[in-house]
Amino acid sequence: KYKTDVMKERILSINPQADVEVKKEFFLPDSDTAFLNDCDYIVDAIDTISAKLALVQTANEKKIPIISSMGTGNKLHPELFEITDITKTSVCPLCKVMRKELKNRGVAHLKVLYSKEKPVDVSKNITEEEKGNKRSLPGSISFVPPVAGLIIAGEVIRDLAGIS
């Protein structure tokens, strides 16, 4: 099942009168952004940097609030996640790339969820067969990404409700 369909089912199980519109879109840098016109808030949980950057730029152009999830891969301490501006981040390699690329694109600020936890070094886990042109991909442990999602959900709800 699509995550969006599961979430709609869950919302309707809580409130059968809720108006839930599901949009199944795979966002890429050259995607048509018209589907974003009705958004009140954007949660960026995209894995590719080029798509993250395009989505942030689109959100800024359309004046839609956005929060971006930075890397949760190879992390084991979800209690270290925090929400801040991209300019105030450190340690996280994805944040470093995003800061540089956003600056190059004239984007001064971006609300992000990130962690100062140093990612677990998995380079020793690469077999001889995997060496060469292959790079190690970050792995996720089952409890870390959901915590990040819950923290982001809380931030979005507080923002939409006007509660600091």
pLDDT in tens, 24-43: 888 999 999 999 998 999 99
Residue 145 confidence (pLDDT): 94
pLDDT-derived band at 131 (thresholds 50, 70, 90) equals: low
pLDDT-derived band at 16 (thresholds 50, 70, 90) equals: very high
Q: How far apart are CA 67 and CA 56, in angstroms?
A: 9
Residue 126 confidence (pLDDT): 64
pLDDT-derived band at 130 (thresholds 50, 70, 90) equals: low
pLDDT-derived band at 122 (thresholds 50, 70, 90) equals: confident
Alpha carbon separation from 92 to 113, 117, 144 (Å, rounded): 11, 8, 15
Average pLDDT over residues 116-123: 87
Residue 103 confidence (pLDDT): 97
The average confidence (pLDDT) of the chain is: 91
> Is pLDDT of 159 > 80?
yes
Helix axes 49-62, 93-104, angle to 10 degrees: 50
Q: How far apart are CA 125 and CA 75, in angstroms?
A: 16
pLDDT-derived band at 150 (thresholds 50, 70, 90) equals: very high
> How distant is the alpha carbon of residue 8 from its chain centre?
20
> How distant is the alpha carbon of residue 80 from its chain centre?
16
Residue 27 confidence (pLDDT): 93
- Tokens 């800061």 -> residue: 99
Q: How far apart are CA 83 and CA 136, in angstroms?
A: 27
The residue that leads in pLDDT, 130 or 51, is 51
